[in-house]
Amino acid sequence: MSYWGEYQSKLVSAAEAVRVIKSGDWIDYGSMNGQIVSLDQALAERKDELEDIKVWNLLNSFPAKILEADPRGETFTWNSWHLSGRDRNLIKNGRPVYYSSIRYSELPRYVREHIEPLAVAMLQVGPMDEHGYFNFGPQGSHTRAVCERAGVVILEINMNMPRCLGGYEEAIHISEVDYIVEGENPSLVQIPGSPPSEVDEKAARFIIEEMRDACCIQLGIGGMPNAVGRMIADSDLENLGCHTEMLVDAYVDMYEAGRLTNLKKKIDPGKIVYTFALGSQKLYNFINNNPRCAMYPVNYTNSPGIAALNDNLVSINNAIEVDLYGQVCSESAGTRIISGTGGQLDFVLAGYESRGGKSFVCLPSCNIGQAGNMISRIVPVLTSGAIVTDPRSVAQFIVTEYGMLEMKGKSVWQRAEGLISLAHPKARDDLVKSAEEQGIWRKSNKTL
């Protein structure tokens, strides 16, 4: 049978495809732009027929109809490897979302070895090519592992999906697929870059000053990392490389400005390496069928041992709060989950292990509350229940708009002194008092 004949034999409606799902099943819903749409609508219509369906997702990207049909989570239990803004809104409105803590580099192994077997995997993919392959689009991540773990694989075709070259594990063959649904072809999630704030730009300048030609760049999610990317595009740095988890518009800006050549990389020379891409249509157009880009599974991109093979690796990530001991929380407000560990710890480790590399965690010194009050993000101790994303023994540079501190080799009182100098001036006296109460402030410390 030809590939096209096999395709036609497996082509069904969305309603027919989701009939394979039974009460009690664990299923995967796809991740990011690979999250299902037509199949989701069909499954939502089966809500009253089913019980105890457990769903895996990463970065919820489309309005899931099963969640609208089941606002209290009585039929569908939504489990996430990393929360999106859409997930946070669900939680705010009382809809349960259950996070599973991970080191992102380990996620394919979790899927292959540790989670409950998946009855069904459903994901959006690009159209079949002449060789019988469906490209996963810009979400390599753990997608191949999901397909291998599932008893049934259902593909929803999206003609708008860019074809993302590998790397490896970027596609699935028709012979490995059980059902095919020709979907609604929704546009990809658009995350246009917002202009950096004055605080973002001030902090970014400290990082730019630490960079040199031929650095290999990893940008995390958030305003400050993206501000660095845009400033790099406007700099005179040369022959930069990219080895990252998340590919964003700033890398396209760097490439178009002639800054990002990837020619000096020690591994994957000439290639922009990533595991998923989220941004504007400009980014999706750039990665489509582009041999300059290589999408890998996350156990390659985020493995500290692999990423650190690139000399001068510079990792730049955001934080929610940092305490005087150097513990970094980047994923929760107390016990309230905001996002997830993601790949930050992976790249904090890799940046330091890289020859000539550096790892930066950046954050504004404070927030302004609804009442106009200042809330310091340099804190005496992490908020009760806050998750430690980067242990105090791991983080290297902490950056705010007031400066930068390298924490490696510093005693607890040196860290306290340095971190207080990064806080907003109005918060420093209270932080000094707290440090004294905790016994981590020397009387001979300089006055801040």
Whichever domain contains 96, its CATH number is 3.40.1080.10
Beta bridge partners of 276: 139, 246
| Shared-domain flag, residues 202 and 163 | no
Give residue for tokens 């010194």.
Answer: 365
Give residue for tokens 């191949």.
Answer: 144
Say whether 189 sits in a helix, a strand or coil: coil
Could you tell me the CA-to-CA distances from 186 to 38, 121, 182, 287 in Å, in that order?
9, 19, 11, 18
| Shared-domain flag, residues 119 and 213 | no
Is residue 193 in a domain?
Answer: no
Spell 197-224 as b/e; 16+ CB within 10 A means b: eebbbbbbebbeeebeebbbbbbbbbbb
* Domain C-terminal end among 182, 212, 228: 182
Is residue 131 in a domain?
Answer: yes
Q: How many domains does the chain have?
A: 2
| Shared-domain flag, residues 334 and 422 | yes
Tell me how far apart the alpha carbons of residues 224 and 73 are, in angstroms, rounded to a whole number.
35
| Shared-domain flag, residues 336 and 289 | yes
Is residue 443 in a domain?
Answer: no
Task: Please pick, among 156, 169, 201, 245, the residue that the annotation labels catalytic.
Answer: 245
* pTM across the whole model: 0.95
Which structural domain, as residue segments, surrounds residue 40? 3-182
| Shared-domain flag, residues 279 and 408 | yes
Beta bridge partners of 171: 135
Tell me how far apart the alpha carbons of residues 330 and 386 are, in angstroms, rounded to a whole number.
9
| Shared-domain flag, residues 274 and 131 | no
Main-chain phi, psi angles of 289, to 5 degrees: 55, 30
Whether residue 406 lies in the annotated active site: no
Tell me how far apart the alpha carbons of residues 49 and 425 are, in angstroms, rounded to a whole number.
59
Is residue 448 in a domain?
Answer: no
- Please give the DSSP secondary-structure letter assigned to residue 114: I
| Shared-domain flag, residues 107 and 173 | yes
Per-residue pLDDT tens listing for the chain (448 residues): 799 999 999 999 999 999 999 999 999 999 999 999 999 999 999 999 999 999 999 999 999 999 999 999 999 999 999 999 999 999 999 999 999 999 999 999 999 999 999 999 999 999 999 999 999 999 999 999 999 999 999 999 999 999 999 999 999 999 999 999 998 999 999 987 777 788 888 988 999 999 999 999 999 877 677 778 888 988 999 999 999 999 999 999 999 999 999 999 999 999 999 999 999 999 999 999 999 999 999 999 999 999 999 999 999 999 999 999 999 999 999 999 999 999 999 999 999 999 999 999 999 999 887 777 889 999 999 999 999 999 999 999 999 999 999 999 999 999 999 999 999 999 999 999 999 999 999 867 665 5
| Shared-domain flag, residues 260 and 371 | yes
**Other Cβ atoms within 10 Å of 175 Cβ, number:** 8
Is residue 188 in a domain?
Answer: no
